[in-house]
Amino acid sequence: MKPPTYDELISLAARRFREAGLDRARSEAMMLMIHAFGGSHLALISAGNSPVPKTVEEDFLAAVARRAAREPAQHIMGETHFYGLDIVTDARALIPRTDSECVVTAALDRLPKDGPLWLADLGTGTGCLLAALLTQRPEASGEGVEASPEAAQLARANLEKHRLTDRSAIFIGSWANWQGWPKADLIISNPPYIASDVIAGLEPEVRKHEPLMALDGGQDGLNCYREIIALGAAGMKPGAWLVLEIGYDQKEAVLGLMALAGFESLASGQDLGSNDRWVAGCRPR
């Protein structure tokens, strides 16, 4: 039997993805084929009419079956690109989103470009925020705080992958029990912020494949903000910054919490989709 070509397998996968309700069917098929193929996008286009080696075909079709079942592509490929870094990604932690890159930029804008700094990432998950900050500030060191031992293990793997272990540590436990509040020059966090009753209606990729503890922000989605802001107001050193990722409709609520807690120089910003995505405040000197 004549082996299928790359173009034929990509078209087959795109049809399956459309039937599964995926919006970007062909681009996702191309992405998974590039992963199985092991070459560049341009090389895959050039090979379009060539027969596919059996091992590549088997790997690709297995990936297609997983994606058609609504498993996230990032889990299938095992990594995702974030702020110039390839981050190891699996079901132990929330998948890094492009939308979160603006939160890193907001933090960097509030930090000196050189000199020793100590940074912290609360609910570090994959460690992507901490890794991005430390990569951009090579004289800085920092710590990720993570309640899940499994996610903490993943964060350590990513910090090791990017040769950041000599400037970083992971604390396993709650941010309420963490002792680094008075030490940090800046604290960043992408906490759970989805309202509990919204979770059942999320896409299967999120609802079935990402940790509930990384999603559920309580009845109004603000539980973690209340806790982090109160702890920061009580324990952060004067002049330190708190930078928080937020949901698209949470800016006013979280800024209000920060103002009530006494934070100054309040600011906010949007992601590339023009959705409110971060807020920041400084502990008074």
Question: Which amino acids are annotated as binding site for S-adenosyl-L-methionine, given as ranges?
Answer: 123-127, 146, 175, 190
Question: Which amino acids are annotated as binding site for substrate, given as ranges?
Answer: 190-193
Which position has the token pair 């090579």? 138
152/144 Cα distance (integer angstroms): 8
CB 37 within 8 A of CB 6: yes
Question: Which amino acids are annotated as binding site, given as ranges?
Answer: 123-127, 146, 175, 190-193
CB 75 within 8 A of CB 91: yes
| E-only strand ranges, the chain | 79-82, 85-88, 117-122, 140-146, 168-172, 186-189, 241-245, 264-270, 276-282
262/94 Cα distance (integer angstroms): 31
Neighbours of 113 (CB within 10 A): 8
